[in-house]
Structures are given as C-alpha cells and as structure tokens.
Structure 1
Amino acid sequence: MKREISRPRPGVEAHFKNIGFAYAHMDGEPYWDESARYIFTLREIEDDIEAATRELDALCLELVGRIAESEETMDRLHVAKHARELIAESWKRRDPSLYGRFDLAYDSKGPAKLLEYNADTPTSLFETGVVQWHWLEQLTASGELPQHADQFNSLHDRLIARWAEIAPERLVHFGAMSDSVEDFGTAAYLADCAVQAGCGAALLDMHDVGLDGAHFCDRDGRKIETLFKLYPWEWMFADTFSHAPAMRVTRFVEPPWKALLSNKGMLALLWEMAPGHPNLLECYFASNPRAAALGQSYAKKPIYSREGANVLLMKDGAAIASTPGDYGAEGHVRQALHMLPCFDGRYPVVGSWVVGGEPAGMGLREDATPLTSNHSRFVPHAIVG
C-alpha cells in the first residue's frame, strides 16, 4: 500500500456534471480529490481487506443473533423499548440487508482493524462504485496507469443484482433528507440501481412520508410497501410514527435488525464475543470497569453518532484529536487506540463494502488529522501488482 501523486484529469468538472456527481465539492471545499491515489497489490486486497470484510460480516451476523434474544443486551445498547420486538421479529424472519460499510485501519504491515461499522445509513456509494471506476478507466486509457491496473470494486453490479433479489419488480420508495445533497444524491443513485434491476422507484424527502391508517404513504397517496431510508433507525424510533402499526406492514431497507449493528456499543460486544480476534480492537462500554485496562490511550466514541461526531482520541493521557457534535447522551465506548497510517501527512481510512453478505469494493477517505469526518476527502485507488 502506498500513496502517489496523481495528475487530475482535464475537464473533470464537465465529466462530473455529465454523470450527476453533484457533491464533488461540499461546503466550499473539494470532497473528491484525485490529486493523489492509493496503490495496492492484489495480495493486500484479497488476503487483508476482502478476507477481513467477509470475516467481520460473519461475526456481526452471529452477534445480532445473540442480541436479538437478550433483553439485557438491548438495555446495554440503549435500544428503545418499543422497538425491541420489531427488531427481534425482523431478525427471526431474516429480513434481507442491502449493504454496509466497514471502516478499517490498514497499513499493509498487519491485519486490517475494525474502527466502526456503518451498518444502517452508509454513504460514499456513488463515488466508490461509479466515480472512481470511471477515474480508473480513463487513467488506464490515457496511460497514466498501466493497462493491467484494476480496482477492488464490483459495488455497482452487486447493488443491481441485490435489488433484483430482495425487491423483484416491486415499487421501492427511497427516502432521504433533501436538504443534504450527499444523502439525496446517494438515495437517487440507489434508486437508479433498483430501476436497472427491474424495480420501480420513487424518491421522496423523509418529511413527505405520511400515515394512512395501517400504511405509510407518499404525497400522492401511494402505499409505501418497501422503503429504503437514508435515515438512522435511532432517529426513526424516536419519532412518534414509530409506534404505528404501519411499522410492521412496511418492508424496510435496511431492516430493523440492522439497528443493532449501527450502534457503536456493538464494538464492545464484538470484543466480548471474540476477544483477541485479529481484525478487532479491544473495546468496552465506558461504564465497564474493564475499560480502565486500556490505560491512557484510547478512542472514546458515542454509542449513537454520525459522521464521526463527538469522537475523542487520547494518547498517553493527552487529547490528540476530537470532533464536535451533539451526541453522547446514551453513553460511550472506549476502544483501544489504533492510529491510522500516515502518508504524506494524510491519514486514510478504508471503507470496505459488503453487499448481500459479499465483499463488494472499497473507497478511501483521508484527512489531515487522525479522525475521519464528513469533511474528509475521497481519494481513488488502484490495484497494481
């Protein structure tokens, strides 16, 4: 694994406009950054990233089976009481999952380590599956990369195939917050994948979801039978409509059982279940006396949070990085400090995707600090050698 300087493509902004990449810049700053690229060997991808992704997905599914049968563990995760039966029923039915993203620390010198799992509302799909693939094709065509260069990236095709499996010929509503260009763009991309799979698709703002008797409905009065929601389960469970009978009528993507894995308390539970696993970091609930075993170096993370908010990194008793936010009321976990590798003053995190239980590709985001946030930049990768 190495970082290289890369020459940006001429006319790339016109290309982005043509493919509908509306958030290449966000908040006045570049989000997509092709002035650099990360280079991997095939062995690193297959043995270290892909294998770890498959292993972590299996561990997570085993963990859900344990949590779904334990009221005490639900308490530890601060799962809303009225949601627990819905979650358990969803797991018992094995309601299908579309996707998830494991955020890994990896430097090619040791096993990939799980930092967290974006199991419910992960973004960076379009830039991973489409934008960086176009980048690879154009750089190999121009000779900037060798003709045999490849990418760990079957994400786009796997998403289409998965929609065909879980919602064949159904109308799927895609809900997100329309005031977020990234979230709404991600929902629109997934809707396009569903259409290519033969499904119908309707895009709507989450505020436009209504209730009509025993069903949720859209503004046109159509029943919402299948809803993809780029809206966290913990937010939904805090809403009044989460008590409605329609919650048991609607088919959700991601399904309710994914709420158990989008909670960072699962990092502590994974360590309890598989202590010493090479792809896991030692982790405890902050209220657990055993958290003191981590000493003065650890990452403190809220049980519920988004976009890397309210994370604190402590090293030898001193805070070395932190992010602001409004999360943490439900409690925190303490995870053993494992620094991201540093390349040219940049710290990359590997986002490894799983679709329908299979590793599907990866995207890298890097930052000038050891913490990854919604301001971190997406940098493409290639496999050479």
Structure 2
Amino acid sequence: MRRHTITPRPDWQATVEEQGVIYPLTRYPDDSLRPYWDESAYYSFSLPEVEALEEVVEELHGMCLAAAEHIVERKRFADLGITDPRVAEKVAESWHRRSEQPSIYGRFDLHYDGSGPAKLLEYNADTPTSLVEAASAQWFWMEDRFPGADQWNSLHERLVDAWKRQAALLPPGAPVHFAHSAGDELGEDLMTVAYLRETAEQAGLETEAISMEDIGWDRLSGRFVDKRLRFIRSCFKLYPWEWLTTDRFGRNVMDTLDNGGSTGSTLWIEPAWKMLLSNKALLAVAWELDPGHPNLLPAYLDGPRDLAATSGYVAKPLLGREGAGITVHEPGDPATPRDEACCYQELAPLPDFDGNRVVLGAWVVEDEAAGLGIRESSGLITDAYARFLPHVIL
C-alpha cells in the first residue's frame, strides 16, 4: 500500500459530476470550497495484498453475523439501545426470516497501513454512502489515467447480480420504490439511491423514485402509499432504521413490517435485522465472542476498562454517521464513561500517509467482498470533511 501524488485531470470536476458525483466539493467552516473527490493523489496496492484484504472482509462479515445471532439468541437488544419490546420482537423475527428478505450491501471501515493486519473500526451495514464514487467514478478515473491497470472494484456487476438473484424475494406485480430523505442538502443520499436504482433496473426490476417525506399513510387501508396513492409493497430506503422506528409513523412501520410476505405489508430494504449490524455495540459483542482476534480491536460497552491506562480509547455513540459524537482519548486520560450509551474501542490512530489520515472502506455485496473506497482526513476522526481518493492495483 503506497500513496502517490499526481496532477488532476484538467476537467476533473465536470467529469465526475457527469459520472454521478454531484458533490465533488466540500464547503468548510471558513466558507471555502475544497475537493471531496480528490484525484491529486491515489493509492496503489499489490494483488496479493488485495486478495488478503478480501479474505479478511469476508471473515469479518461472518463474525458480525455470528455476533448478531448471539444478540438475538441471548435477547441482548438493550445493549444496542433497543428498549422497545415490540421493536426487539420485530428485529428478531426479521433475523429469523433473513433468508426471505433482500439484503444488498454494506461497508466495513478498516484500519490498515500495508504492514500489519487490517482492523475493524466499524460496520456501516444499513445506510452506507460513498458508493457512487467507489463503484463508478474511480473506475473511470483509472481507465483515463492507468489504462490496462486493475482495481479492487466489482461493485457494479455484483450489485446488478444481487438484484437479479433476490428478485424472487420481492412482492410480485409492484415496483420497488427507492427512497431518500429530501433533507439531504448535499445530494449524496440522492445520488446513492439513484445509482442503486439504476443497478436494480439493469437487473430487470421495475422501480419508482420517491422521497421519504412523500411516503404517505392510508388510514382506510392501513398501508403505506406513494404520491399516486399506489401501495408501497417494497422500498429500498437510505434512511436509518433507528429513525424509521421512532418517527411519527414508526408504529405503522412495525404494524406493516413484511417479515413473512403477508398481504398489506411493506418489505423494506435493507431489512430490519440490519439494525443488529449497524450498531456500534456489535463491535463489543464481536470482541467478547472472539477476544484477541487479529482483525478486531478490544471494545467494551461498560466503559473503557484498562484501555484508558494502556492504549487509549475511542468513545463511539452506538448510532451515528460521519464521525458524529466520536471522542478520542489518549493513553493516561482519565477514564470517563459518557452519559449516552457508547462503545469504547481501543485507540488505533489512523495510518498517516504524508500527513493524511486514511481509512479503507471495504464493500460487501450480499456476503462477498466487492470493492474498495478510500477516504482521507486531517485528524483522527473521519468526518464530513474527509476526502475520497481513488486507487489502483499495480
């Protein structure tokens, strides 16, 4: 794994916008605009390195599924902050019926510097973004700058194939609705959903776009409907389950949750059992089940324990995106558990490449490793100001 500097293409911004990255720039607090899509540098990997990382990702995916199984069997939903018995019941039912419910993709965030084993930082299993730039824009960048090279990137083909394989699980005779929140000012959620909708259409599915705010509730029939008052039988939503279950229509979601193909129900993609994987408590459960695993970091739910005195730790809220609420505690800092529920994970400072802190985003489609996206930040937390950089296999 190496970082290389390179001159960006003269028309890079217009090029990536045409390829779906409609947010190539990030506005900073000083009101300046700086690249989010950053092709002034790139990363290279060897083929054996990528093959080893693929094996790690698929092993981690299996370990996370085992941890989810443990949570359901031991009824440890409260450890995930799921305290509503009805929600816990529906999540458990969804887990037991997971073979009947489409589950398309997820993204592991990994600590890796090319020398030691990759370490799991977190699993974005419900609403992962940075998909368009990973699947599309960086592939076309490689074709422009390194024709004939290769890339860890089979995302597009695997997504289309996943929709084809799972089409039989979808309610027949109705389009799959693809929903994002209209409150997404940046446009990242919109383009992620639009891209996934495109892969579903290439798989032969009928689709319909809608915003979450335009999903209606028909009181007479007890069903969710779109703006044309059509019953929403299935819906891919880039909208966290913790929001969906707690907002105004959360009880209606639970009442009509399709955990068994019943008439009048709605099949949500990703399914409700993804709440087990998208929660940072999973990191602590995985460590509890397999302490000392070379691809895991020590993690606890009751406090930092001895991490405060030894390695330092990172306190992560159980739910959140873009690094929100994460705090970093160096070795020797007082062990101060926070009021909100957190996962306390060993501090593994992100690898430093020329002053840039890097995290690998390794994608899975269904149960298989499918590609890589790389983000850089200036500090130890990969936040909303992180930059996306392409990569090649050399």
TM-score where L is the length of structure 1: 0.91
Deviation at 1:14, TM superposition (A): 2.8
Q: Which runs of 5+ in 1 are unaligned?
A: 142-146, 320-327
Give the Cα–Cα distance (whole angstroms) in 1 for the partners of residues 250 and 280 of structure 2: 22
Deviates more, 1:50-59 or 1:62-71: 62-71
What residue number does 2:157 align with? 157
Q: Which amino acid aligns with 1:166?
A: Q
Distance 1:224 1:329 in 2: 39
In the alignment, what sits opposite 2:344? 334
Aligned partner (choices 356, 363, 369) of residue 346 of structure 1: 356
Partner of 1:77: 80
Q: Which residue of 1 aligns with 2:183?
A: 179
Report if the CA contact (8 A) 1:187-1:230 is conserved.
Answer: yes
Q: Specify the code of the residue in structure 1 equivalent to 2:345.
A: Q
Q: Secondary structure at the match of 2:22?
A: coil
* One-letter amino acid of the structure 2 residue matched with residue 364 of structure 1: I
Amino acid paired to 2:298: E
Distance 2:226 2:244 in 1: 17
Rounded Cα–Cα distance in structure 2 between residues aligned with 1:20 and 1:265: 33
Q: CA separation in 2, counterparts of 1:369 and 1:3? A: 17
SS of match in other structure, 1:203: strand
**How far did 1:167 drift?**
2.7
The match for 2:222 among 194, 209, 214 is 214
Residue in 2 that maps onto 1:99: 105
User: Contact between 1:78 and 1:330, CA under 8 Å: does it hold in 2?
Assistant: no
Question: Is contact 1:6-1:34 (8 Å) kept?
Answer: yes
3-state secondary structure, aligned to 1:301: strand
Residues 330 and 235 from structure 1, CA distance in 2 versus in 1: closer, same or farther, beyond 3 angstroms?
farther
Amino acid at match of 2:89: E
8 Å CA contact 2:20–2:132 kept in 1: the answer is: no
Aligned-pair CA distance for 1:306:
1.3
Measured after TM superposition, the shift of residue 65 of structure 1 is 1.4
Deviation at 1:179, TM superposition (A): 3.5
Cα-to-partner distance string for 1:172-224 (whole Å, 9 max, x where unaligned) = 11111123211111111111111111111111111111112332111111111
Are residues 1:53 and 2:61 paired? no
Spell out structure 1 runs of 4+ moving beyond 3 A. none
Alignment partner, residue 290 of structure 2: 274
User: Take 1:63 and 1:240, find their aligned partners in 2: how far apart are those partners?
Assistant: 31
TM superposition shift of 1:80: 4.0
CA drift at 1:153 = 0.3
Deviation readout 1:340-379 (Å, 9 max, x if unpaired): 1100100110000000100000100001112101210000
Is residue 38 from structure 1 mapped to residue 53 from structure 2 by the alignment?
no
Per-residue deviation, 1:318: 4.8
Hey, what's the Cα distance between the residues in 1 that align with 2:47 and 2:323? 30
Given that residues 161 and 203 in structure 2 are in contact (C-alpha distance below 8 angstroms), is that contact kept between their aligned partners in structure 1?
Answer: yes
Alpha-carbon deviation of 1:330?
A: 4.3
Alignment partner of 1:88 is 2:92: yes
* CA distance, structure 2, for counterparts of residue 339 and residue 203 of structure 1: 40
Alpha-carbon distance in structure 2 between the residues aligned to 1:123 and 1:226: 21
Aligned pair partner of 2:330 in 296, 310, 315: 315
Q: Secondary structure at the match of 2:16?
A: helix
1:228: which partner in 2? 236
When structure 1 is superposed on structure 2, of 177-186 and 255-264 the one drifting more is 177-186
Contact 2:237–2:269 under 8 Å retained in 1: yes
CA RMSD of aligned residues (A): 1.6
The letter of the residue matching 1:91 is W
**Partner residue of 1:167?**
167
> What is the TM-score when the length of structure 2 is the normalising length?
0.89
Question: Aligned-pair distance for 1:236?
Answer: 1.0
- Structure 2 gaps of 5+ residues are 28-32, 259-264
Distance 1:17 1:50 in 2: 29
1:11 aligns with 2:11: yes
**In structure 1, what is the equivalent of residue 30 of structure 2?**
none
Provide the secondary structure at the position in 2 that maps to 1:120.
coil
User: Equivalences for 1:248-327 in 2 at 5 Å?
Assistant: 248=258, 249-285=265-301, 287-288=302-303, 291-296=304-309, 297-318=312-333
Could you say what secondary structure the match of 1:238 adopts?
A: coil
Distance 2:243 2:294 in 1: 33
Specify the alignment match of 1:324 in structure 2. none
Matched position secondary structure for 2:257: helix
Partner SS state of residue 18, structure 2: helix
**SS of the counterpart of 2:353?**
coil
CA deviation profile, 1:83-139 (whole Å, cap 9, x unmatched): 111111111111231000000000111110000010100001100000000001111
> Could you tell me which amino acid in structure 2 is paired with residue 357 of structure 1?
D
Residue aligned with 2:182, SS: coil
Hey, what does 1:323 align to over in structure 2? none
% same residue: 45
* Deviation for aligned residue 1:17: 3.6
Q: Distance in 1 between matches of 2:242 and 2:367?
A: 23
The match for 2:365 is: 355
Q: CA contact under 8 A between 1:98 and 1:159: conserved in structure 2?
A: yes
Query: 1:262 & 1:17 partners in 2: Cα distance?
Result: 29
Query: In the TM superposition, what are the counterparts of 1:130-145 in structure 2 within 5 Å?
Result: 130-141=136-147
Give the Cα separation in 1 of the matches to 2:18 and 2:247: 38
SS at match of 1:353: strand
